Structure 1
Amino acid sequence: MLSDLSALSGPLSAALREAFQATGYHADGVLDLLGAQAHTALGRGEPEPARRASRDAGELGTLVRLLLLGDPEPAGAVEAALPGVRTGDLIAAGLLAPDGDRLRAALDVRPYGDDEGSWWVFADLDADQRPDRRVPADHVLGIGHASLSLARATMRRPVGSLLDLGAGCGVQTLHASRHARSLTATDLSERALSLARATFAINELDVRTERGSWFEPVAGRRFDQVVCNPPFVVGPPRVDFTYRDSGLAGDGASELVVRGLPDVLAEGGVGQLLASWLHLPGEDWAHRVAAWLPDTGVDAWFVQRDVADPALYVGTWLRDAGIDPRSPQGSAQASAWLDWFAENDVAGIGFGFVTLRRTPDGTPTHVDCEDLRQAFDDPLGPEAAGWLDRVDWLRRNDTREALLDTAFTVPRTVVLERVAEPGSEGWAELVRRLHRMDGPGWQHEVDELTSALLAGCQGALPLRELLALLAGAHGLDSASLVDAAVPVVVDLLRHGMLLPPELAG
């Protein structure tokens, strides 16, 4: 029997919402039931602790096993756990399926929350919850590592209009509902839009949805913010799975989105996306991605979080689709994929985040490319916003005189580390390093003069006076010291390790 996914975005969504709330099937309720350890284990793909915790938990336990663990449950128990909802309607809508005298989940429906509250998300079942352990070509991904990473990397400042380009099941739109007044979600896949509409309906969100390829559904419109988790997988120009494959060769999908963003952003609008790029012999990855941008009208920040070798990359994405790399199918796909990498001299595949802002026409494009592979705990979204603020300040104060007249401050989150080794005359210093203890944990190695200069940056004296004092104390030529200090100050400012008064508060 064919299911009618559209029913999930109609009156049935309101009934489901009330039933979930009555049973306690929301983010806080599930966490309280499972406890931190079982909840964390479930996130790692280890269901048994959650199964044990839900064993004697009544109706909420039934929903946890049914919808989160994929266990078939007695039909009567499911009906009791969903008061006011007819299980026949859920079967017709494709959310449940008969399994002998029991019912099992045919879709992934799970609570998902942030610091402000809880939502529910509709998506397709992962491979490990499917009888054949495989996902179909039109599979709609749920709450995965990539979507969570993008959510943490996205700015949350209030905006008027926001576009979720390639919305999938709608996770980014949920987060955007906290800070955007109007929401638009697009996708090429009708199945993805059907599940996204169900997600929006059960969470009582007013979202305009449009179907189409890339920017076509919003041609002629401008947005204050765009978020995008595109099908960024790098490889031959084919589409095995719509959620990850674009049909464009290499890093063409990421290039297409980066090139197209300025045309759908209002002036001052910001686009943020996950992206991948090729690493080729003799080519700096930063030069490659910068070439995707126009000469004017854009500020862009590329953050590379990882670089994978081709063999590891292929194996990872085969397993993601539930394909055993050792199987005949896996071997054939891996061989074709690796052949394409070899034919195109691909040495590695970079992955990371892009933040792009549209600036007034004629403004020279500014691009920063960062290699940020270390682990850090803070979300990257506030740092992206801070980077834009600091680029703005540097553009308004783009002369040496303006920098020298500024009384900078070293934030309290910046510390100076000294590393030394024992020597014949005591400790011998190996390195001095500035370390930001917040955000992405930027680090800068500095010399003795720079650390002395920064010790005086307390928001009282302008840089000009501090450099004059430093030159006098060390018997240095003042002009030469200024020449050396200005680029260092600019680099530290871009990383938030030195702030002007307007940004220090």
Structure 2
Amino acid sequence: MSTRVLPEPDPARCRDLADDLRAAGFTASVLRSAWGPLADDAIVRGLPSPALRALGQRRDALAVLGRLLVLGMPQPAADVMAALPRCGADGLVALGLARVAGDEVVPEALVRPQELEDAAGTVHWWVASDLDETALGGPLPEDHVLGVGGASLTLAALQLPTPARRVLDVGTGCGIQALRALRGRRAQVVATDVSQRALAFTRLNALLNGADGIETRLGSLFEPAAGERFDRVVSNPPFVITPRSGGVPEYEYRDAGFAGDDLVAAFIAGVGDVLEPGGVAQLLGNWETHGGRTGLDRVQEWVERSPVPLDAWVIEREALDPIAYAELWVRDGGTAPGREGYAALVDEWLDDFAERGVAEIGFGYVLLRRPLAGAPTLARYERLPQAVDPSGLGAHLAQALAAHDRLELTDDGGLEASTLVVSPDVTEARHLRPGDDDPTVIELRQGGALARVRSVDPALAALVGACDGELTVGALVAAIAELMEVDAATLRADLLPGVRELLFTGFLRFA
């Protein structure tokens, strides 16, 4: 547990800092314009020098705050006072974000601007977290509170935009998921973590962004919320598979002390108890392939063993071999290839995986729902390795769930009586051999959502192409059967399952 104390944030000083940051134009897009997109990408990879070269000798508020709060570099006290006329250096010190050493202000934490796009538009946040390995110049302390990374932005984009009255954020870290859960809602958010330092950062970030309705609680998994129910549970938990040996640092932000992928299994086993009927849980996780069972097979077993029956939609986005996985997380802790201890740490992971027979480690998204009544109706486990733009995924997931629920209540006769339209991001590609008139492959492609590509036969392609909201599915099937000179009943039996799949996956929509 962390022994470093972050002061309890003072609301007035947080308002002063927010006013100063706003006046300086301290947003992600403005900073990106100041030092360029290439330098912005380099910062994510731990390379600050392109941004520093772009800023040059500038001493305006944006440049000073960029160096101090984004790159974690000491700045002249006079420049900081000019950049933060309300908060000042004293305010940063009181908030635990900096210290004064002589005539310099030395950062003790980062405050990085973040942008999130959703159906309601673009929101700008400032998110405080601990100094990263670039600012520290070496490995992270074990009580490090992580800032906003790719995984946390992905989960924020995955959050369903549908209404929720009470939200539980498990393993909140710096609080980004709690902030996202309040977006566009009047909700009560309970944010939990095993780290007091993380909870202090969450409270600071809530005040800094004027977010009301976030309550922080200390504890592991669902213990802080025992006996309560929530409409929504979100979690970017410390799921990283870590060897249980003395030579491997146990970073609180990524390691909950479980063996292997037991943390994700424990989350799935316990989440049903805190979900309201109809409530949805969303999390990121890792799972192992071993013992002749794939990672997705094992996740399915966890869901099926849940004491509370759950709908499940699990998407594996990536799978790594043990060496690649070990190197990823050794580097993440600030130990780069070639540095002392790097090879020994990688070996610790490889020994652990070899002992347990792990062949592959998957990473992906888990969506679980407690049915309103009766048995679960959704059990979907799939690999989708293609590149996906996460923005807008939450809306897509919500639409897919709504389509699934409607289809569960719609028999084939009802589906035939429905009128459908093609989603606006869908295109069709036909592949022909030179000189042929008929395609050998017809593909439907999504430009958004999960960027799926689905091969379809000519009949289904014809039906999709004719879905303009005018004719019913039944009328279209009859017309295609007549045109192709095939039996209408047989064609109907062939096409309707495909139509159902295209509705769930978002290629088609009910008109």
Considering the TM-score relative to the shorter chain, is it more than 0.5? yes
Q: 8 Å contact 2:159–2:181 — kept in the other structure?
A: no
Aligned-pair identity (%): 38
Deviation of the 1:453 alpha carbon: 2.9
Matching of residues 17-416 of structure 1 within 5 Å = 17-27=18-28, 29-31=30-32, 33-36=34-37, 38-54=39-55, 55-85=57-87, 87-88=89-90, 90-91=92-93, 93-99=95-101, 101-114=103-116, 115-131=121-137, 133-181=138-186, 182-206=188-212, 207-237=214-244, 240-280=250-290, 282-294=292-304, 297-327=309-339, 329-377=341-389, 379=391, 380-397=393-410, 399-416=411-428
User: What amino acid is aligned across from residue 19 of structure 1 in structure 2?
Assistant: D
Find the aligned partners of 1:336 and 1:189 in 2 and give their Cα distance. Answer: 25
Match of 2:465 in 1: 455
Look up the SS of the partner of 1:80 in the other structure.
Answer: helix
Q: For residues 213 and 179 of structure 1, do their structure 2 counterparts lie closer, same or farther at Cα, with a shift above 3 Å needed?
A: same
SS in 2 for 1:429: coil
- Partners in 2 of 1:29 and 1:483 — Cα distance? 56
Q: 1:472–1:329: structure 2 CA closer, same or farther, 3 Å change rule? A: same
- Paired residues of 1:232 and 1:244 also in contact (CA < 8 A): yes
Residues 14, 207 of structure 2: 8 Å contact kept: yes
1:180 is paired with a residue whose SS is coil
Amino acid at match of 1:462: T
Alpha-carbon offset, residue 418 of structure 1:
0.7
User: How has the CA–CA distance of structure 1 residues 89 and 301 changed in structure 2, closer, same or farther, with 3 Å as cutoff?
Assistant: same
Report deviation, 1:58: 2.0
Q: 467-476 or 100-109: which moved more?
A: 467-476
The answer to whether the Cα contact below 8 Å between 1:302 and 1:369 also exists between their aligned partners in 2 is: yes
Q: For the Cα contact (< 8 Å) 1:277–1:289, is it kept in 2?
A: yes
User: 1:285: how far off?
Assistant: 3.5
Question: Offset at 1:197?
Answer: 1.1
Q: 1:32 to 1:452 in 2, by over 3 A?
A: closer
Output the amino acid matched with 2:150: H
Distance in 2 between the 1:263 and 1:490 partners?
31
Secondary structure (helix, strand or coil) at the match of 1:346 reads coil
Q: Which amino acid letter does the alignment assign opposite residue 471 of structure 2? A: L
Q: Show the counterpart of 1:494.
A: 504
Deviations 1:267-287 (A, max 9, x none): 222211111111236324332
With 34-43 and 258-267 compared, the bigger mean Cα shift is at 34-43
Deviations 1:141-192 (A, max 9, x none): 0011111111122222332222211100011122222133222211111111
Structure 2 unpaired stretches of 5+: none
Q: CA deviation at 1:249?
A: 1.6
Query: Quick check: 134-143 or 491-500, which moved more?
Result: 491-500
Could you tell which deviates more after superposition, 346-355 or 457-466? Answer: 457-466
Q: Contact 2:421–2:469 (CA<8 Å) still a contact in 1?
A: yes
More displaced 10-residue stretch of structure 1: 432-441 or 14-23: 14-23
The range that moved more, 49-58 or 413-422, is: 49-58
Kept after mapping to 2: 8 A contact 1:275/1:353: yes
How far does the alpha carbon of each residue in 1:415-443 deviate from its partner, in whole angstroms, 9 at most, with x for none? 22111232xx5467331111122212221
Say yes or no: does 1:5 pair with 2:6: yes
The letter of the residue matching 1:384 is: L
Alignment deviations for residues 238-266 of structure 1 (CA, whole Å, 9 cap, x no partner): 67111111211221111222222222122
State the alpha-carbon separation in 1 of the partners of residues 253 and 280 from structure 2.
24
1:3 shift after superposition: 7.0
Query: How many aligned residue pairs are there?
Result: 496
Tell me the C-alpha RMSD between the 2 structures: 2.5
SS in 2 for 1:362: coil
Amino acid at match of 1:209: T
Paired AA for residue 198 in structure 2:
A
Paired residues of 1:297 and 1:360 also in contact (CA < 8 A)? no
Query: Matched residues in 2 for 1:66 and 1:285: separation?
Result: 43
1:478 pairs with one of 455, 470, 488:
488
CA apart distance, 1:306: 0.6
CA distance in 2 between partners of 1:360 and 1:76 (Å): 60
Range with greater deviation from structure 2 (144-153 or 486-495):
486-495
Partners of 2:72 and 2:109 within 8 A in 1? no
Higher mean Cα deviation, 95-104 or 383-392?
95-104
Moved over 6 A (4+): none
- Match for 2:224: what amino acid? P
User: Against the structure 1 CA distance between its residues 451 and 365, is the aligned structure 2 distance closer, same or farther, given a 3 Å change threshold?
Assistant: closer
Maintained 8 Å contact 2:477/2:492:
yes
Q: Is the 8 A contact 1:28 1:118 kept in 2?
A: no
Most deviating of 241-250 and 327-336: 327-336
Say which is worse superposed, 60-69 or 278-287, in terms of deviation: 278-287
| TM-score using structure 2 length | 0.89
Q: CA deviation at 1:297?
A: 4.2
Give a deviation string over 1:392-423, Cα, whole Å, max 9, x none. Answer: 111111x332223323333343222111232x
Is this contact kept in 2: 1:142–1:169, CA < 8 A? yes
Which residues of structure 1 form unaligned runs of 5+?
Answer: none
Cα separation, 2, equivalents of 1:428 and 1:339: 55
Structure 1 residues 202 and 454, CA, compared in 2 at 3 Å: closer, same or farther? closer
Q: Give secondary structure in 2 for the equivalent of 1:56.
A: coil
Show the counterpart of 1:417.
429
Q: 1:53 to 1:291 in 2, by over 3 A?
A: same
Query: Aligned equivalents of 1:322 and 1:451: distance in 2?
Result: 51
3-state SS, counterpart of residue 460 of structure 1: strand
